[in-house]
Amino acid sequence: MTRYEAVIGLEIHIQLNTRTKIFCGCLADSWGAPPNTNICPVCCGLPGVLPVLNRSAVEKAILLGAALGATVADESFFDRKNYFYPDLPKGYQITQYDRAVVQGGRFDVPMPDGRIVSASITKAHLEEDAGKTRNDALRGVRQIDMNRCGVPLIELVTGPDLRSAEEAAQFLVRMRQLLRWLDLSEANLERGHLRCDANISIREAGATVLNPKTEIKNVNSIEAVRNAIDAEIARQIGEVEAGRRVSAWTLDWDDETQTLRKMRSKETEADYRYFRDPDLLSAQLTPEWKQAVLAALPELPLARRARFMADHGLSAYDAEILTEERALSDYYEAAVTAYAGSPKAVANWMMNDILRVLNESGGSAAELTFTPAHLAETIKLVEAGTINRATGTALIAKVIATGSSPAEIIAAEGLAQISGDDALLALAQTVLEENPQQIKAYQKKPALLKWFVGQAMRKSQGKANAQVLEQVFLKILPPTEA
Ligand code: ZN
Ligand code: MN
């Protein structure tokens, strides 16, 4: 039996998180807004109006281009893509055909098995989104919501470099991480901020030919990308093994039934009659402008992950978690700087305490009022023996609730650890006096030492130093018979 490999390229539409739309001043984000409330004559395509390019959308494209190691054009043009559809009020979409802002580049995708898949980027261009139609079955009419008309998109096109559904899924996971990291998009697939089309063909493993491909549209989650591509690869292999040719179809993924449906035979580009939009000047991306934008380009997630492992000595697992989101990563770095000790100590507190607090609150590390400085202070207080580890953890909630610093709370609530020999001795003696039976039991069973320490800890409301207590008990308890 022949072994096949899949050849997959992705086209991803990314909704940018600019405040306003790409060619007018309407709000770009209409999530939850009633239909047709964020619209104006420009985005509704009324006659006689002129589009004005949103600088912020171009700047986000520049950042993405730089992150992908792409060529960012010096001059970029806008074109009209002509087609008729009810959700496209002008009868054409303003997009970029041959002079995209971003050309070329690569995106490295680490796979769960440790491989790095390096996918080429063909181009990434700016364009406007179309509206939404919906059927009102009750009244038997079709309705159009134009809120989404003119929302800025980047369409990113990869080369045919991915070889499996898993590689495509991981590409999306890492692209989503990058887009959020650079604050280009909310990148929420379920809300349509990332819409992925996949071009798929198969060939005999190791061959270099490209066979006719199909395009899957309408995949709205990472899981759907994985399932739809796997289903299509299996379908194509079935066709070829049955001696049939794969035709260049456009397919629709139905997530509910987990099946592909043929939408239409693929249209060719000529159908769109692209031409330059005469209403828009070309965008001049001067070196000064690009430089100013790129000053805001942060260290990228994979580079930061590698640095956390090499310079901070973190495990691959910890480094991955601590670079999943930029805010968390920045928090950790700030705490490491404030603490000025071993980064691994900070990483432990991050993994055990800070992540738990964030999971419970559902908030972002950027908004946490227990600041990196508070964390550094707390770790130092534990290391100095002023408080024990459990009190340190309890401090986090108290700082958040009161707004006071860890040191202030320790002073106000008397949380400092009891380490003084006299205080611990008195505490231990009280425990012995109250439990004569246990002393006898201890003489036959030395493991009961822990029980005495536990009693004393409870009496001190968790403030005693358990290690020192153990030594104190050993001194005052009678010798064991063992
Ligand atoms: Zn508008
Ligand atoms: Mn497009």
Domain residue ranges of the chain, discontinuous segments joined by +: 4-289, 301-413, 421-476
20 vs 419, which has greater pLDDT?
A: 20
Return the pLDDT at 465.
85
208 pLDDT above the threshold of 90? no
pTM to 2 decimals? 0.87
What is the Cα–Cα distance from 448 to 372, expressed in whole angstroms? 40
**Stretch 32-59: mean pLDDT, rounded?**
96
Residue 49 alpha carbon to ligand 1 centre in Å: 11
Return the pLDDT at 96.
98
Average model confidence (pLDDT) across the chain: 93
Here the tokens at position 281 are 């000047």
Here the tokens at position 280 are 């828009």
In order of 132, 255, 340, 352, 362, the CA distances from 349 in angstroms are 46, 40, 15, 5, 18
* Fold topology of 421-476: Arc Repressor Mutant, subunit A (1.10.10)
pLDDT band at residue 420 under the 50/70/90 scheme: confident
Residue 183 alpha carbon to ligand 2 centre in Å: 21
Name every residue whose Cβ is closer than 8 Å to that of residue 287 and which is 6 or more positions away in sequence.
Answer: 74
**Stretch 286-301: mean pLDDT, rounded?**
96
Counting every residue, how long is the chain? 482
What is the Cα–Cα distance from 149 to 133, expressed in whole angstroms? 11
Ligand nearest to the CA of 12: 2
Ligand nearest to the CA of 131: 1
201 pLDDT above the threshold of 90? yes
Ligand nearest to the CA of 195: 2
Lowest pLDDT segment from 334-343, 373-382, 438-447:
438-447
Place of tokens 């759907």: 224
What is the Cα–Cα distance from 299 to 323, expressed in whole angstroms? 11
CA 288 distance to own-chain centroid = 31
Q: In the chain, pLDDT over 90 holds for what percent of residues?
A: 79
Ligand nearest to the CA of 127: 2
- Number of Cβ atoms within 10 Å of the Cβ of 87: 16
Ligand nearest to the CA of 272: 2
Residue 409 alpha carbon to ligand 2 centre in Å: 56
In order of 82, 385, 466, the CA distances from 450 in angstroms are 79, 20, 10
417 pLDDT above the threshold of 90? no
7 pLDDT above the threshold of 90? yes
**Where does residue 35 rank: exposed (0-12), middle (13-18), buried (19+ CB within 10 A)?**
middle
pLDDT band at residue 353 under the 50/70/90 scheme: very high
Place of tokens 């930029």: 326
Residue 50 alpha carbon to ligand 1 centre in Å: 11
267 pLDDT above the threshold of 60? no
- Report pLDDT digits (tens) over 358-401: 999 999 999 999 999 999 999 999 998 888 898 899 999 999 99
- Number of Cβ atoms within 10 Å of the Cβ of 286: 10
Residue 37 alpha carbon to ligand 1 centre in Å: 10
Residue 410 alpha carbon to ligand 2 centre in Å: 58
- Nearest of 8, 60, 319 to residue 170 by alpha carbon: 8
What is the Cα–Cα distance from 334 to 326, expressed in whole angstroms? 12
Name every residue whose Cβ is closer than 8 Å to that of residue 30 and which is 6 or more positions away in sequence.
Answer: 37, 38, 147, 148, 151
Here the tokens at position 371 are 């600041």
**Stretch 96-109: mean pLDDT, rounded?**
97
CA angle at residue 198 from 196 to 199, to 5 degrees? 150
Here the tokens at position 420 are 């003084």
Residue 308 alpha carbon to ligand 1 centre in Å: 45
Q: What percent helix, strand, coil does the chain show, rounded to 5?
A: 40, 20, 40
Return the pLDDT at 464.
85
What is the Cα–Cα distance from 323 to 345, expressed in whole angstroms? 17
**Stretch 335-343: mean pLDDT, rounded?**
96
Residues 148-172: b if buried by 16+ CB within 10 A, e if exposed: bbbbbbbbbbbebbbebbbbbbbbb
**Stretch 292-307: mean pLDDT, rounded?**
96
Q: Using only C-alpha atoms, what is the Rg of the chain?
A: 31
- Report pLDDT digits (tens) over 219-238: 889 999 999 999 999 999 99
Lowest pLDDT segment from 17-26, 41-50, 263-272:
263-272
Return the pLDDT at 422.
80
Return the pLDDT at 36.
97
205 pLDDT above the threshold of 80? yes
